[in-house]
Amino acid sequence: MPCRRRTDMHLRLHTRHQNSAGERVRIVLNLKGIDYAYVAIESPHSETYRAINPQGLMPALEIDGQFVAQSIAIVELLEELFPEPSVFPEDPVTRARVRAFANLICADLHPLNNQRVRRYLADQVQATDSAVRDWYAHWIAETFTSLETEVALHPPTARYCFGDRPNFADACLVPQMANARRFDCDLSPYPNLIRIDAACQALDAFAKARPDRQPDAP
């Protein structure tokens, strides 16, 4: 079923090109075919941004003048407002597994390797650059090992994380793979994740959400 466009709503996504939580939302907006305006955030720590998102983390979705933070909350809201096409599978158990997969990335991995955590390790714990990189690689390896096992349990013919249609799990995986590459993490132990990432990147919805395709990309 085609996307039900709510033409009466004005959506603005406050994000930055290199904002992996924001990229998840951009992918979902594109998968659903929702029009939105891209608002480049100068600094998440600025007073201007904190006035709209007191959490000081990117992204924030502005919807008819109201602001919502946190990528998962934003995606759940988009799913409620624009149910078709859904970014969750129909089967309730598979849907829960997609959420579990997404949470492992968004709630367990990403916060550990976030820039503010790396900055704290370097500035307050006096961790060396190499120790911070080890920290980053450690949490990637631990999480990606679980994710790889999880997707390998699915039929090997499945093109994406949980079937032949990309969903929210894929929207979480792709930006995280790019982060891991940016930090030179060894991805060779995760052939299924590499394969799924490549299949997603071939889709317009994912390609258009990439950092280098955003208006504020250098």
Ligand X SMILES: N[C@@H](CCC(=O)N[C@@H](CS)C(=O)NCC(=O)O)C(=O)O
Q: Which is nearer to ligand X, 31 or 57 (CB)?
A: 57
Does 29 bind ligand X (CB under 6 A)? Our answer is: no
**Structural element, H or E, at residue 40:** strand 37-40
Q: Nearest distance from residue 56's CB to ligand X, in Å? A: 7
Q: Nearest distance from residue 182's CB to ligand X, in Å? A: 12
Does 182 bind ligand X (CB under 6 A)? Our answer is: no
Q: Nearest distance from residue 45's CB to ligand X, in Å? A: 7
Q: Nearest distance from residue 74's CB to ligand X, in Å? A: 7
- Which of 28, 38, 12, 39 has its CA nearest to residue 82? 28
CB-based contact 25:69 (threshold 8 Å)? no
**Structural element, H or E, at residue 132:** helix 129-152
The binding track of 33-72 with respect to ligand X, each residue x by CB under 6 A or -, is -----------x------------xx-----------xxx
Q: Which is nearer to ligand X, 44 or 166 (CB)?
A: 44
Interacting residues of 202 by C-beta distance below 8 A, sequence separation 6+: none
Phi, psi of 86 (to 5 degrees): -75, 150
**Structural element, H or E, at residue 166:** none
Chain residues binding ligand X by CB under 6 A are 19-21, 44, 57-58, 70-72, 106, 114-116
